[in-house]
Chain A
Amino acid sequence: MTGLFPGFLILSAAMFSVGAVGVLVRRNPLVVFMSIELMLNAANLALITYARYTHTMAGQVFALIVIAVAASEVVVGLALITGVYRSGHKLNLDELSEMSE
Chain B
Amino acid sequence: MTTLLSLPPWFPLHFVPASNLVGILPVLIVGGGSVLVLLADLAVPRRGNLVLPVISGVVVLGALGTAVGQWILNATNPVVFNGAFADDRFALFADFVVLLTALAVICLSPGYLRRRGMEEGEYYILLLASLTGMLVLSGATNLIVIFLGVELLSIPLYVLAGFARDEPLSQEAAMKYLLLGGFASGFLLYGMALIYGETGHTGLAAIHQQLLQGALSHSFDPMLLAGIALLSVGLLFKVSAAPFQWWTPDVYQGSPAIVTTFMSVATKVAAFAVFLRLFSATLAPYRSEWEVPIAVVAIISMVFGNLVAVAQTSVKRVLAYSGIAQAGYILIGVAVGSPDGTQAALYYLAAYAFMNTGAFAVLTILSQRGEDCDRYSQLAGLWRRQPLLAGLMALFMLSLAGFPMTVGFFGKFFLFSAAIHDGQLPLAIWGILTSAVSLFYYLRVILVMFTAVPDADSDTAPTLAGLSLEGTAVASSTAASVGIPAGVVVVLAGVGTVVLGIFPALIYTLLQGITVVHG
**Which residues of A line the B interface, CB within 8 A?**
9, 12, 16, 19-20, 23, 29, 32-33, 36, 39-40, 42-43, 46-47, 49-50, 53-54, 56, 58-59, 61-62, 65-66, 69, 72-73, 76-77, 79-81, 83-84, 87, 89, 93, 96-99, 101
The interface centre, meaning the residue of B162, B176, B185, B249 with most chain A CB atoms within 10 A of its CB, is B185
**Nearest residue, chain A, Cβ from B173:** A99
User: Which residues of the partner chain B approach A80 to less than 8 Å between Cβ atoms?
Assistant: 158-159, 162, 171, 174-175, 178
Contact A40 B185 (CB under 8 A): yes
Q: Pick the contact of B148 from A69, A83, A84 — CB < 8 Å?
A: A69
**Nearest residue, chain B, Cβ from A100:** B250
Q: Complex: how many Å from CA A76 to CA B174?
A: 10
**Nearest residue, chain A, Cβ from B308:** A101
User: Which residues of the partner chain A approach B172 to less than 8 Å between Cβ atoms?
Assistant: 84, 96-99
User: Which residues of the partner chain B approach A42 to less than 8 Å between Cβ atoms?
Assistant: 186, 190
B115 at the interface (CB under 8 A from A): no
Q: Mark B167-192, 1 if CB is under 8 A from A, else 0.
A: 01101111110110011011101101
Contact A50 B162 (CB under 8 A): no
Contact A62 B179 (CB under 8 A): no
Q: Which 7 A-B residue pairings sit nearest by Cβ, starting from the closest? A: A39-B186, A50-B197, A54-B200, A36-B182, A46-B193, A43-B189, A58-B202
User: Which residues of the partner chain B approach A65 to less than 8 Å between Cβ atoms?
Assistant: 144, 147-148
Q: Complex: how many Å from CA A54 to CA B158?
A: 36
In addition to A76-B178, A80-B162, 20 A-B residue pairs with Cβ atoms within 8 Å of each other are A33-B178, A36-B186, A39-B186, A39-B187, A39-B190, A46-B193, A47-B193, A47-B197, A50-B200, A58-B144, A58-B196, A62-B192, A69-B148, A80-B178, A83-B165, A83-B171, A84-B171, A99-B250, A99-B253, A101-B311
Q: Complex: how many Å from CA A38 to CA B74?
A: 44
Q: Pick the contact of A46 from B162, B168, B183, B197 — CB < 8 Å?
A: B197
B143 at the interface (CB under 8 A from A): yes
Q: Complex: how many Å from CA A39 to CA B165?
A: 29
Q: Pick the contact of B183 from A23, A43, A47, A50 — CB < 8 Å?
A: A23
